[in-house]
């Protein structure tokens, strides 16, 4: 599992504060949270705390005096070599070099389990992401949520959660009706008949391809049917084919789902009617202007929201309410995270309000809003697809840059920020491309180990105490951070820290390789360094796996 050294240090600080309080050295006061950080300069140590500054006001003492008294009570143990105080009230911590060297053995002993944690305690977590209406192919904007969701799933599983990945198929409602009518028009046109695309329909050329594929398999039989029957039967075929294509594109991106949840089942299995009944019984529903409203203003919302339109058709909000009722009350997920596009921002508060009305703690629902992205090729903004004249599809992006580059670049920015995807950089075979840079580090490590195996070097039983050089110890310092990083990302739901960490790890490995000759005439030192290479290859592989990328042995 690996030790989370940051948590260990925090635990010792808290124990020292409580001991100082019990001894009367500092007055009793609440201990702040998040008290351990990484100093900006390595000369200040590996970790630091501003506990003296944070307690000064509440205990009415000089920050330096607080830091001095606490530092004297901190147990160093095997992990820490020094605990020092710095102005204006910091306590700095330096890791023991002996402890660092021993971590190389620990990493190799734990193997693929290094970094796995139990902080999730097996809680049932549902991740719902992508969930694009099956009315057209996935485009490059959809890929951002897809990559984010699949990476979060891997991180949460590593942290000890029981994760279900789910795609919500919006196969009911007006958008699907528009899709069915549009497909019917394209089908008639492909059979040489006159037909107009509906005003609110889908004019994309992909529907021409879809209509032609249906003609190839089914012929022109739908031209002889009554219009409504033809629309429904064609629509069912079109829906099935669109889902197949969406699944295929996502699999090519390395994204798979445990469940594809049909919106229609919300109505077929009475979840919608159950929710409406509960809301009415709770006094949260009213009828005005022929429509049914959710009285969300009574729960702090700015306005009420329509559940059922005056024509009797439920809104998407009503479907969302039924779907989340099914998630929390029927399937009993402990925690649900939805990844939505930024255009859904206005839906967040009303969904949390309806959960409150249903008796579900809204804090059990987390919604991540992924911002817009722009494609760029060098200095040129890519606005349209050369092939279709429409939005660039995910399939086209994958064909140009490949899965690994696609996943890395989408993950490298926080979803809360807009991003630019540089196609030119993503395909560059040089160290300027971070994908090439980190995969080359793994391939370089694998090549070194192949060389060692060809020479029958027994590096796994080597003396790690021989690792004394700064590049060696700096590399180990990076390796031991993975468990801490997984713990942090599982709490913050911010996987963009993983690609940045992996680049830093690759940089530390390349620096070690440039500064320390691995295989030399000094056999004991060579074996010790080979063991460090093996640990580095393992951690690089784990990082690439968490990001859903390949770990090449040759490049």
Separation of alpha carbons 318 and 354, rounded Å: 10
Separation of alpha carbons 73 and 82, rounded Å: 13
Per-residue pLDDT tens digits for 327-341: 999 999 999 999 999
Q: Where are the beta strands (DSSP E) in 151-258?
A: 162-169
Per-residue pLDDT tens digits for 489-539: 999 999 999 999 999 999 999 999 999 999 999 999 999 999 999 999 999
Per-residue pLDDT tens digits for 41-87: 777 899 999 999 999 999 999 999 999 999 999 999 999 999 999 99
Q: How many helices (H) and strands (E) does the chain have?
A: 20, 15
So what's the pLDDT on residue 92?
Answer: 96
So what's the pLDDT on residue 2?
Answer: 64
Domains and CATH numbers, the chain: 5-95 (3.30.1360.70), 124-168+263-370 (3.40.50.620), 174-252 (no CATH), 373-426 (no CATH), 431-546 (1.10.730.10)
Q: What is the DSSP letter of 496?
A: T
Separation of alpha carbons 147 and 143, rounded Å: 6
pLDDT at 388 over 80: no
Q: How many CB atoms lie within 10 A of CB 464?
A: 20
Separation of alpha carbons 528 and 466, rounded Å: 6
The tokens describing 170, both together, are: 């919006």
Q: Please, are residues 22 and 39 in contact by the beta-carbon 8 Å criterion?
A: no
∠ CA 170-173-179, nearest 5°, is 80
**Per-position DSSP letters for 338-380, written without gaps between them:** EEEEGGGGGGHHHHHHHHHHTT--GGGEEEEEEPPEEEEETTE
Separation of alpha carbons 165 and 304, rounded Å: 32
pLDDT at 1 over 80: no
Residue with tokens 């339109």: 309
Q: HSE of 306 in the Cβ direction (CA atoms, 13 Å)? A: 13
Q: Please, are residues 437 and 408 in contact by the beta-carbon 8 Å criterion?
A: no
Per-residue pLDDT tens digits for 218-254: 999 999 999 999 999 999 999 999 999 999 999 999 9
So what's the pLDDT on residue 379?
Answer: 81
Q: What is the DSSP letter of 91?
A: E
pTM: 0.93
Q: How many CB atoms lie within 10 A of CB 553?
A: 15
Contacts 24+ apart (CB under 8 A), 221-224: 222/184, 222/187, 223/187, 223/188, 223/191, 223/193
pLDDT band at 40 (very low <50, low <70, confident <90, very high): confident
Nearest to 2 by CA among 102, 93, 103: 103
Separation of alpha carbons 549 and 367, rounded Å: 25
Per-residue pLDDT tens digits for 168-181: 999 988 889 999 99
Nearest to 316 by CA among 273, 343, 347, 360: 347
pLDDT band at 364 (very low <50, low <70, confident <90, very high): very high
Q: What is the DSSP letter of 285?
A: E
What's the longest Cα–Cα distance across the chain? 92
Q: Which residues pair with 128 in a beta bridge?
A: 166, 338
The tokens describing 425, both together, are: 């950089």
H helices of 223-281, in order, are 227-252, 264-268, 271-281
The share of the chain scoring above pLDDT 90, in percent, equals 89
Q: Please, are residues 164 and 127 in contact by the beta-carbon 8 Å criterion?
A: yes
H helices of 284-347, in order, are 316-325
Mean pLDDT of the chain: 94
So what's the pLDDT on residue 173?
Answer: 85
The tokens describing 78, both together, are: 């095997």
Residue with tokens 């830091």: 67
Q: What is the DSSP letter of 312?
A: S
pLDDT at 383 over 80: no
Separation of alpha carbons 332 and 336, rounded Å: 10
Which whole number is the average pLDDT over 433-451? 97
Separation of alpha carbons 254 and 492, rounded Å: 23
């Amino acid at each position: 599992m690996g030790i989370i050294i940051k948590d260990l240090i925090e635990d010792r600080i808290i124990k020292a504060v409580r001991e100082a309080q019990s001894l009367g050295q500092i007055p009793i006061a609440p201990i702040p949270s998040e008290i351990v950080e990484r100093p900006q300069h390595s000369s200040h140590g590996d970790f630091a705390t501003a506990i003296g500054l944070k307690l000064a006001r509440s205990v009415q003492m000089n920050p330096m005096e607080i830091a001095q008294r606490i530092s004297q009570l901190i147990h160093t143990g095997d992990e820490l070599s020094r605990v020092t105080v710095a102005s204006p009230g910091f306590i700095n911590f330096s890791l023991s070099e002996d402890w660092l060297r021993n971590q190389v053995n620990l990493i190799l002993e734990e193997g693929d389990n290094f970094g796995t944690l139990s902080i999730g305690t097996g809680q049932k977590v549902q991740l719902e992401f992508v969930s694009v209406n099956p009315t057209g192919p996935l485009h490059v904007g959809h890929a951002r949520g897809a990559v984010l969701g699949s990476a979060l799933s891997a991180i949460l599983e590593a942290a000890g959660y029981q994760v279900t990945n789910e795609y919500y198929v919006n196969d009911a409602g007006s958008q699907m009706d528009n899709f069915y009518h549009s497909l019917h028009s394209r089908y008639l046109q492909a059979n040489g008949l006159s037909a107009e695309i509906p005003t609110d329909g889908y004019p994309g050329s992909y529907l021409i391809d879809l209509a032609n594929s249906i003609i190839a398999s089914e012929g022109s039989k739908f031209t002889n049917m009554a219009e409504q029957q033809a629309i429904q039967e064609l629509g069912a075929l079109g829906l099935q084919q669109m889902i197949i294509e969406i699944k295929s594109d996502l699999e090519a991106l390395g994204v798979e789902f445990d469940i594809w949840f049909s919106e229609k089942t919300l109505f077929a299995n009475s979840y919608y009617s159950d929710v409406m009944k509960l809301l009415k019984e709770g006094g949260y529903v009213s009828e005005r202007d022929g429509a049914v409203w959710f009285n969300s203003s009574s729960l702090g919302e700015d306005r009420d929201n329509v559940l059922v339109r005056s024509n009797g058709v439920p809104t998407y909000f009503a479907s969302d309410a039924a779907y989340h009722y099914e998630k929390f009350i029927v399937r009993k997920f402990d925690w649900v995270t939805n990844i939505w596009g930024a255009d859904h921002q206005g839906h967040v508060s009303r969904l949390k309000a309806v959960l409150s009305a249903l008796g579900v703690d809204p804090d059990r629902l987390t919604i991540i809003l992924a911002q817009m992205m722009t494609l760029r090729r060098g200095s040129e903004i890519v606005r349209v697809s050369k092939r279709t004249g429409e939005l660039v599809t995910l399939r086209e992006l994958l064909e140009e840059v490949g899965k690994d580059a696609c996943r890395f670049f989408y993950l490298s920015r926080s979803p809360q920020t807009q991003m630019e995807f540089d196609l030119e950089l993503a395909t560059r075979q040089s160290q300027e491309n971070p994908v090439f840079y980190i995969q080359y580090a793994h391939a370089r490590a694998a090549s070194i180990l192949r060389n060692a195996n060809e020479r029958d070097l027994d590096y796994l039983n080597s003396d790690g105490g021989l690792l004394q050089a700064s590049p060696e110890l700096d590399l180990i310092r990076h390796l031991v951070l993975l468990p801490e990083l997984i713990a942090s990302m599982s709490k913050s739901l911010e996987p963009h820290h993983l690609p940045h960490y992996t680049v830093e790890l690759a940089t530390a490995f390349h620096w070690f390789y440039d500064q320390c000759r691995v295989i030399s005439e000094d056999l004991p030192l060579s074996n010790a360094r080979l063991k460090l290479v093996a640990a580095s290859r393992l951690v690089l592989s784990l990082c690439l796996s968490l990001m859903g990328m390949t770990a090449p042995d040759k490049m």
